[in-house]
Amino acid sequence: MQRSPVAGLVAASVRRPWLTIVGAVILAALALVVVADRFAMTTDTAALISPDVDWRRQERAMEAAFPQLTDAMLIMVDGATPELAEDGAARLEARLAEDKAHFRRVTRPDGGDYFARQGLLFGSEKEVRDATAALVEAQPMLGPLAADPSLRGVAGALSTMADGVAAGQVSLDRIDKPIRALADATDGALRGHPAPFSWQRLFASSGGALAPPTRRLLLVQPVLDHSALMPGEAATDAVHAAAGALGLDAAHGVRVQLTGEVPLADQEFASLQENIGLVGAVMLAAMLITLWFATRSVRLVAAILITIVLGLILTMAAGLLAVGRFNVISVAFIPLFVGLGVDFGIQLCVRYNAERVEGAAPDAAMQQAAVALGAPLTLAAGAIFLGFGAFLPTDYIGIAELGLIAGIGMVIALALSATLLPALVIVFRPDRPRGEVGIAALAPVDRLLERRRGAVLWAFVAALIVSIALLPWASFDFNPLHLRDPKAPSMRALADLTRDPDRTPNTIDVLARSTDEAQVLTRKLAALPEVAHVVALDSFVPDDQPAKLALIQDAALLLDVTINPLDIAAPPSDAEMVAALTQSAARLREISAGNQTQGARDAQRLASLFDQLAQAAPAKRAALNAALAKPLGVMLDQVRTALQAAPVTRADLPADLVRSWVAPDGRVRLQVFPKGDSNDNRVITRFRDAVAGVTPAISGLPVGTQAAAGTIAGAFVRAGILAFLLVSVLLFAVLRDVREVAFTLAPVVLSIFLTLGSCVLIGQPINFANIIAFPLLFGVGVAFHIYFVMAWRAGATGLLQSSLARAVLFSAFATGTAFGSLWLSHHPGTASMGEILMISLIWTLICALIFEPALLGPPKGSSGMRSNRQSSQSSHE
């Protein structure tokens, strides 16, 4: 039998081990220079899919027309009161707009001067009537408050209202609401825990679209650094720093949350890093322990590890030269290289030990191991190379680049296993193994598989049938949000946001070529049962304006002098606040004396609390003054602005608002909202299909999520078919026997089905992350089965007792335990990848050690069992 190239390389390396080692170190040093000079990694997930697929072209068209909507960071400002939310959002917007180093653009999609001025017009006529009526009814209190926006003014307003009750102009029950609210606020101040006070809630009409919101939004475009693992980290830190400096925190009744494309991506990588030390330590420990049990030699373990480390450096350099930079998928070449590189190392070292046990000298043992394993290792590496290369023609760039780098890595792993590893083994001179290298305890299993071959095969056929029957229940969840840690701040904020049907991120953007087309599309889309409503630029021009404006103008006329006093009192002294509180308490007691209504009891309670506050320390009065005066100023400013509403046409809309909906070239953006639960994948699927039926020019989270799922699933299906064909051709070219090709690939197919069936039983969906397990499953599976088939065709028997089985067993253990440690990750996607990798490798090992020997049966032309040593010798000849 002609010696393989691997055997020739091993022989040369064994003859000149130090030259080989020095040469490998020099190459690794050069590669390290390349890595240091060219290392780059992008965390831009948009770069993972080919820009030439249709949905990506639509996405790029929308981004080109409206670039201000890309790379977004959404800041949610939640206040305990509407005033706190509005004030916090306004101050945070001003602070961030000044920070040009971290933010390119800062806008308020639900606030600003336009909405503050014209906001009342967006309610129904009834809502506008109720809102203006509530303000007019509050006129007796608004006047004194506007003239003296302080605790003194509040106490004075209550005294004035009490005068009205005493004169019979108003009943006590009519002013009970402000009395009760102020009593609660005063009680909190006396206890040292002043609660946020809302004048808007006090004076606003209840419910409806015009109810004062306690959440405000800021849409921010941060300055990103894509060379960093978390490109928006600096901007995120700047937001938190600004919020802290402005006192926008829980202690002040405000919560600032961040979500959107940038924080979600950043925190995903933060969760990847969260316990990476533990995961790495477990992975390394599992690898070292398994290697030691496989080889029983610290020196062999060191040789394998040095080979893998230098191979990783060379592969990293070659990958950077080939693709320019790594992406979040292609970096998975590291565990792939380690897993398959460890397999090559274990195969050679275990076979080396077997030869040493038989009495061969170190040099001869390594060369004999290379002669025996050269062809299987070369064929396995070639099959794995083709398997990964099958992803190159797909639209899934992330996995295509992974396939290219991993394929190159297989060539490097094989080359180093045939050069550096043998040289290190010769230099390290590990001790001769004690005892048999094979697994003698598995001899009964070998005999059982021979006697019960048919039963074993039928058992696997039954398992295959069950797995196929379970496939309809297999879950394929390609929603990238489901891979993220639900406890991450950005995910909690997003979950909070999706519960608001008017602010859900699960909307579809439609790009119309003109205003006329946009109007036609709006009518068609709004008529769909899957659509809740459609927002366009015209949505910001209120309807029924004449009737609403008449109501607002009437209220403005009545309230003008009330809310715009000629003179505003200077801030009060403490003595003035004490006097006002004492006077107001006396008046409240007078009007409630002898009255047993709820309003009277509330008035008496407030009078008692005012007396206590008048006698308390000045700091208590100052705290209540601040708690009442600040929101009072915000509320009065909002009322003054809202009563200045004027007729609005499309030409009156602010330029920034128009630019968010109409591009300079005339193209128009529409935003379509789903009807139903936007967190339900079935609802979103129907929603996306319905909108796509009206126009193909769509983008957005529901479109990208489903289209990416289709692209990725299609890439794996096409790559899987191509890999199967390429590997089949390679195997046939080498083995020249269709049956032996089937013997090699059938267990791989079986293990894939068994893995999918197991996922159904444990309820684990296939997702963006764990689907990467299948290329590894294919690569490792093909390698294992090639080893067995080629040993079998060389006449080997008792396969489970052999050194080959030991190598396969511990190779699977090393790969499985190392990758299984990913299960410990706090990142859900990574944890699910570790879970499926472990399951798939267990089935691969079962198929290799049980199904494969049973499938192969006795060697061709064999009349009985020969010893492992005889079969080994035959493979050398």
Q: For residues 103-122, give the mean pLDDT.
A: 89
Residue, of 401 and 3, whose pLDDT is higher = 401
Least-confidence region, from 302-306, 346-350, 467-471: 346-350
Q: For residues 813-827, give the mean pLDDT.
A: 72
| pLDDT score, position 436 | 63
For helices 545-563 and 139-147, give the axis angle rounded to 10 degrees.
50
DSSP-H helix ranges across 173-275: 176-190, 199-203, 233-245, 261-274
When mean pLDDT is compared over 25-29, 791-795, 852-856, 871-875, the highest value belongs to 25-29
Least-confidence region, from 313-317, 346-350, 702-706: 702-706
The answer, yes or no, to whether residue 53 has pLDDT greater than 50, is: yes
Kind plus residue range of the DSSP H or E element containing 655: helix 655-659
Q: Which tens digit of pLDDT belongs to each residue from 115-170? A: 889 988 988 899 899 889 888 888 888 888 999 999 999 999 898 888 888 888 88
| pLDDT score, position 258 | 93
| pLDDT score, position 3 | 62
Residues of the chain with CATH 3.30.70.1430: 71-115+212-270
Identity of residue 77: V
The answer, yes or no, to whether residue 508 has pLDDT greater than 70, is: yes
Alpha carbon separation from 620 to 81, 187, 192, 193 (Å, rounded): 21, 10, 7, 10
DSSP letter assigned to residue 850: I
Average pLDDT, the chain: 85
Residue, of 481 and 224, whose pLDDT is higher = 224
| pLDDT score, position 209 | 56
Contact in structure between 552 and 645 (CB atoms under 8 Å): yes
Alpha carbon separation from 508 to 59, 73, 84, 222, 579 (Å, rounded): 11, 18, 32, 23, 60
Q: For residues 409-423, give the mean pLDDT.
A: 93
Quickly state the pLDDT bin for 466 (edges 50, 70, 90): very high
Q: Which tens digit of pLDDT belongs to each residue from 190-233? A: 988 878 888 888 887 655 556 788 899 999 999 988 767 688 88
Percent of the chain with pLDDT over 90: 38
The answer, yes or no, to whether residue 861 has pLDDT greater than 60, is: no
The answer, yes or no, to whether residue 375 has pLDDT greater than 80, is: yes
| pLDDT score, position 869 | 38
The first and second tokens of residue 487, run together, are: 């406890």
The answer, yes or no, to whether residue 68 has pLDDT greater than 80, is: yes
- Say how far apart CA 818 and CA 812 lie, in whole Å: 10
| pLDDT score, position 275 | 63
The first and second tokens of residue 601, run together, are: 């009891």
Q: Which tens digit of pLDDT belongs to each residue from 614-656? A: 999 999 999 999 989 989 988 899 899 999 999 999 999 998 8
Q: What phi and psi values does residue 204 have, to the nearest 5 degrees?
A: -80, 155
Q: For residues 29-49, give the mean pLDDT.
A: 82
Q: Which has the closest alpha carbon to 304: 317, 287, 316?
A: 287
| pLDDT score, position 274 | 66
Per-residue DSSP letters for 6-66?
A: HHHHHHHHHHSHHHHHHHHHHHHHHHHHHHHHH--B---GGGGS-TTSHHHHHHHHHHHH-
Quickly state the pLDDT bin for 868 (edges 50, 70, 90): very low
| pLDDT score, position 438 | 64
- Say how far apart CA 236 and CA 230 lie, in whole Å: 10
The answer, yes or no, to whether residue 807 has pLDDT greater than 90, is: no
Q: What phi and psi values does residue 807 have, to the nearest 5 degrees?
A: -65, -45
Alpha carbon separation from 61 to 398, 669, 697, 699 (Å, rounded): 22, 11, 9, 9
Residue, of 101 and 482, whose pLDDT is higher = 101
Q: Which has the closest alpha carbon to 67: 236, 221, 259, 225?
A: 221
Cβ contacts of 259 within 8 Å, gap of 6 or more: 74, 76, 490, 491, 493, 494, 497
Identity of residue 189: A
Domain boundaries 71-115+212-270, corresponding CATH code: 3.30.70.1430
| pLDDT score, position 342 | 84
Quickly state the pLDDT bin for 273 (edges 50, 70, 90): low
Contact in structure between 698 and 58 (CB atoms under 8 Å): yes
The first and second tokens of residue 771, run together, are: 């689907």
